[in-house]
Amino acid sequence: MCDCSSFLATTSLILSRPSNATSSFLTSPPLLSHSLLPFLPLVFWFLECLIKFFANSKLQPLPLDSVMAPAFVHRDRNAVCVMDASSRLGVSLVIRLLQRGYTVHAAAYSRGKHRVSLERLLAENRRLRLFDADPFDYHSIVEAVRGCSGLFYAFDPPQEEPYDDLVVDVEVRAAHNAVEACAQVETMERVIFTSSVTAVVWQEHRELAVEFDEREWSEPSFCRKNKLWHAVAKTLAEKTAWALAMDRGVDMISINAGLVMVPELSANSSYLKGAMEMYNAGVLVTVDVDFLVDAHVAVYESAEAYGRYLCFNNVIRRPPDATKLAEMLSPDVVHPPACYELKVEEQHIQNKKLNKVLMDFDPGRQVDEQELNRLTMD
């Protein structure tokens, strides 16, 4: 707050300086005409009243972030980023988002076989941009998400690289970099973070009769002790992302997916470590890629969506279900008709929260490409 007495003293000093002063200030035209000098006390009184008014008023200054915000930020609410777009889930998300009219920034981590699918899509659709992203290169992530309103984020190591303590650190660092990059991009409005059911169900002293839902968390210490590295990685990465998102004010939603049923899935999947225990607890669940993609898009487009969502569309709780899964994972192995030592288990995990969002979601909605291209050209 300006001090009134200092202001008056400074003003009097300026007006009383000699006219032949050599300062650059007095080489400019006179501030006040001599005819106005008698009114100075009135002017000072008025200024003093203004100062006292603002000092006693409840008016608050604008927040610093609003004062420093840029006057204009290029924003395309239909532009979203998919990362890692070189995974099967990533490619499926890219295709679905393009079908729904989005402009997609496909940020690819690797140059595997799914990268070929992205490059083919790139040649066919001008609303697709391809970026080479490195989960450890923060600037490459910022470049990929710049101008986007949403990020669909997922991280999985190559199938041939099993989860271990090193991969845990890698996944946690990648999650941190992705959320931090979104916090620094003015256009970002929502992050959809792909996590896992394994970040929910592994607890040491859990009663079997109690249902699991989105409020539950796996216990990292228990998972480390039992070398459940997939659960450790997904739990710590998701917790890191949530902590940073809340600290930076990022609107984040997590999708905690069951075992994703993709053709390249094998019995060596790190998710399946402890599969028998999950079966006995009634929490061994799987999800089809199409259903998982619908869940991602549905929560992104829903204004009411928040927090975590368990995502699965099949529960393995009967011996025939277990046999069918085993045959899919190991097609070259002869399996008995049904594991007689298994029994039918009650389901102890539910995804009612996600089902409510999906009730209002139209998965079949697609844009007319010719009409969209015409509007884009206009």
Bridge partners of residue 261, in order along the sequence: 288
| Longest CA–CA separation in the chain, Å | 110
Q: Which of these is catalytic: 52, 58, 234, 324? A: 234
C-alpha span between 274 and 99 (Å, rounded): 38
CA distances from 189 to 71, 110, 197, 316 (A): 18, 26, 25, 36
User: Is 234 a residue of the active site?
Assistant: yes
The CA distance from 328 to 286, in Å, is 13
Say whether 321 sits in a helix, a strand or coil.
helix
Are 152 and 82 in contact by the 8 Å Cβ rule? The answer is: yes
Q: Can you tell me the distance from the alpha carbon of 127 to that of 121, in angstroms, rounded to the nearest whole number?
A: 10
Phi and psi at residue 286, to the nearest 5°: -130, 165
Q: Give the three-state DSSP class for 214.
A: coil
User: How many C-alpha atoms does 210 have within 13 Å on its Cβ side?
Assistant: 9
Assigned token pair, 121: 């899509």
Indicate the helix (H) or strand (E) that contains 315.
strand 314-315
Q: Nearest-CA neighbor of 212 among 196, 200, 199?
A: 200
End-to-end CA gap in the chain: 52
What is d(CA 121, CA 263) in angstroms, rounded to the nearest whole number? 21
> CB atoms < 10 A from the CB of 22, how many?
7
Helix extents (H) in 69-164: 88-99, 113-124, 138-145
Give phi and psi for 261, each to the nearest 5: -85, 95
| Catalytic positions | 234
